Structure 1
């Protein structure tokens, strides 16, 4: 196929083709992790469908002017007609997966880099079901590359518009009784002997976006022994519980904490020991790995 690659066909060297998210998912498959099945509509698909975009000269700090320009670009992208050859490749691959409910995730070529965090700059669409909905979500992901926030961030980081391109990951929704993030080095203290695990019940997108307070564990490397547990405050409850209150139970057991720590340290080792920010979900008795990227907030 010309525009589509299965996750298992991708490696970290494919960043320019599959974007950071797609390339790293391929590496997780290569590392033997349990990764939900999926594929990537590559950057070649984006370039084949979207005419080259040139921004007018504009003050990047002038947000109203920037918003006026970028909203027009986004509308044009969302209304584009997909060429038959791209549509066929996407839908044939989706059907071979069994046409499941999927997550449709943006995967930019300038994201998940050690020197800059582009995470969250483009959109993700969850629980997408059906062929038409998948195609529409792909176009929305492409359009999110040109939101005012994403354009401003790229320009301020020194990335020109010619460097902007977007692959899209289409991946079966993983079971998600619990979802979370692991930092393989404590990014709050730079302590390399500790990991931080954040977790919530259900889908983890609100956690990734910083919208809710998770249960949090600080665990010891390499065995995953729990050093500290801070439960998420219950609705209407103070985040500083009284001593008379029973200790809260988190959404993971101590054994599950150890298990996810073991998995994440294997991933860090696979990525040459570079500390990782790893997204996962848990369901049906197993952990599923959804993403891994370098931690960009650590101090040298």
Structure 2
């Protein structure tokens, strides 16, 4: 399904009829869509477009509420209170029937009720790329609709409002696309990053979600005769899913600590993807990837420009990441 309000986001290029427009689907989703067109595997799903956001705001008559609360904020009202009033109005508003139908139709294409999906924001501007809303392992159409409405509302977090004020951005002209993708059960498998460094690709891998400081590290030299250098990290803990938006940290098993997260074949696939991404975007990129513990498939879940921080191996089973930042999906 490709329409004004919903655009598919997966690795089937023939079904990608709409242009990859960051103004409509957000920067994060646009990067994934471009790599999907290059044959790189991304989680199957769809994007609720900027046009859907605008239709929702217009149909619910939210513009006057937004304008009023922004005026009150500029007149001295507590920004936390002003932003909360706007978000409350978003959450209480009804979504237009045409937008509901298209979102539910796209979710039905993924399998409908019982199909586990993740819903998250896909900001268009850097001012709105803050601690965005995300919802994990949702399994009903009603849950997906509610999560989309919450993502729309997140455009008016206190930080996002403050960022736009500082940059002189018109609050009534901003939009928030939303991605809905089949869940990648990285908590049952693994996740990490891949990035090119001159003639080789650096891959980091941990069990579960995010990337720990004691991850496995690999150097992969792609080509007709690939060469792989492996360093097994300690991997003493891992992050797994908890509630709909939560995660928790648990100890790894002795078997997980002793094993490498990735096979040689998987490393070669990630290295090839990294090379393709750098060539496509014409700049160094970092791929955030996840391995589904049920299907065993690797997917790229986010694309970030620029190189990741350097990693220094200090001792066997230990490493230092400068600085350290776990990334969850």
**TM-score of the aligned structures, taking structure 1 as reference length:** 0.76
Q: Distance in 1 between matches of 2:219 and 2:172?
A: 43
Q: Deviations over 1:6-60 (max 9, x none)?
A: 2234544x0111111222222122111222221111001111112333323757x
Instruction: Tell me by how many angstroms 1:281 deviates.
Output: 1.6
1:282 aligns to what? Answer: 291
Any stretches of 5+ residues in structure 1 without a counterpart? 186-190, 236-246
2:108 aligns to what? Answer: 95
Change in Cα spacing, 1:49 to 1:234, as seen in structure 2 (3 Å) is closer
Change in Cα spacing, 1:253 to 1:69, as seen in structure 2 (3 Å) is same
Q: Which has the higher contact order (CA 8 A, sep 6+)?
A: 1
2:139 aligns to what? Answer: 129
Q: Distance in 2 between matches of 1:195 and 1:229?
A: 16
Range moving further from structure 2, 276-285 or 137-146: 276-285
1:148 aligns to what? Answer: 158
Instruction: Tell me by how many angstroms 1:79 deviates.
Output: 1.2
Secondary structure in 1 aligned to 2:122? Answer: strand
Change in Cα spacing, 1:134 to 1:159, as seen in structure 2 (3 Å) is same
Secondary structure in 2 aligned to 1:166? Answer: coil
Q: Deviations over 1:218-266 (max 9, x none)?
A: 525545733655433459xxxxxxxxxxx95442245433331222222
Alignment of 1:1-300 (within 5 A): 1-7=3-9, 8-12=16-20, 14-50=21-57, 51-52=62-63, 53-54=66-67, 55-56=70-71, 58=73, 65-99=78-112, 100-111=115-126, 119-157=129-167, 159-176=169-186, 177-185=188-196, 192=198, 195-202=201-208, 204=209, 207=210, 213=213, 215-217=215-217, 219-220=219-220, 222=222, 223=226, 225-226=228-229, 228=231, 230-234=233-237, 248-272=258-282, 274-283=283-292, 284-295=295-306
Q: Distance in 1 between matches of 2:307 and 2:93?
A: 35
CA contact (8 A) 1:11 1:24 kept: no
Secondary structure in 1 aligned to 2:119? Answer: strand
Q: Distance in 2 between matches of 1:103 and 1:257?
A: 26
Corresponding residue pairs, total:
267
Instruction: Tell me by how many angstroms 1:102 deviates.
Output: 0.8
Secondary structure in 2 aligned to 1:293? Answer: strand
Q: CA RMSD in A?
A: 3.1
Secondary structure in 1 aligned to 2:156? Answer: coil
Instruction: Tell me by how many angstroms 1:151 deviates.
Output: 2.5
Range moving further from structure 2, 132-141 or 225-234: 225-234
Q: Distance in 2 between matches of 1:174 and 1:218?
A: 23
CA contact (8 A) 1:103 1:125 kept: yes
CA contact (8 A) 2:73 2:82 kept: no
Q: Deviations over 1:158-189 (max 9, x none)?
A: 5442452101111111343434242525xxxx
Q: Deviations over 1:124-143 (max 9, x none)?
A: 21111101101001011111
